[in-house]
Each structure stands twice: as C-alpha cells, then as structure tokens.
C-alpha cells in the first residue's frame, strides 16, 4: 500500500492540474470547490501536500461517471505497471 502513495501523488498532480485547465477553473475556484484555501490548494497541486481522503472524494464528485472510471482505471494501470516492473 505504502509503495503506491508516491505513485498516487505523482498521478494526482498531473490529473488535478489537467482537470482544472480543461474545465477553465482558476486555482481559487477549484480550491473553493474542494473546500480548501487557495494557498493549500496550490501546495496540493504542486505536490507539496498530499490530498486527504475528503479532498479526493470531493474531487471525484466534480467528475462525470465516465471521468471517475477513467481516473480509477488510469491509476490502476499505472500501479499494475509499477508492480510488474518491480517483480522483473
């Protein structure tokens, strides 16, 4: 489980920024939607802070059903690839 934390953080950084840009949201607006102050959101987007479970749930709530499935599958594939490289 712990080995996937850094992997998820890297995954999160890419996806939270892509989502924000795709939806034309400012950092301030997305921070508001995630119940964060702007400064903490900026640190979250840069990977300085790890997202809490609540933040992840609030983020998923903003996604469509298809986007949620894609988000989860993408991370699962990334984790499987990392696991298979570890075994090799």
User: What is the DSSP annotation of 27-72?
Assistant: HHHHHHHTT--HHHHHHHHHTSSPPPHHHHHHHHHHS-HHHHHHHH
pTM metric for this prediction: 0.86
| CATH of the domain spanning 3-87 | 1.10.260.40
How many whole angstroms separate alpha carbon 88 and alpha carbon 82? 10
Predicted pLDDT at 1: 56
Q: What is the pLDDT of residues 8-22, one digit of tens each?
A: 999 999 999 999 999
User: Which residue ranges in the chain fall short of pLDDT 70?
Assistant: 1, 87-88
The residue extents of the domains of the chain are 3-87
Residue 8 and residue 75 in contact, taking contact as beta carbons nearer than 8 Å: yes
């Amino acid at each position: 489980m712990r080995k996937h934390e850094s992997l998820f953080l890297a995954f999160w950084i890419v996806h939270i920024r892509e989502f924000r840009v795709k939806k034309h949201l400012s950092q301030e607006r997305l921070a508001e939607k995630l119940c964060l102050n702007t400064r903490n959101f900026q640190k979250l987007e840069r990977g300085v802070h790890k997202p809490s479970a609540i933040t992840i749930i609030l983020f998923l709530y903003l996604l469509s059903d298809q986007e949620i499935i894609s988000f989860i599958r993408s991370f699962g594939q990334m984790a499987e690839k990392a696991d298979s490289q570890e075994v090799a």
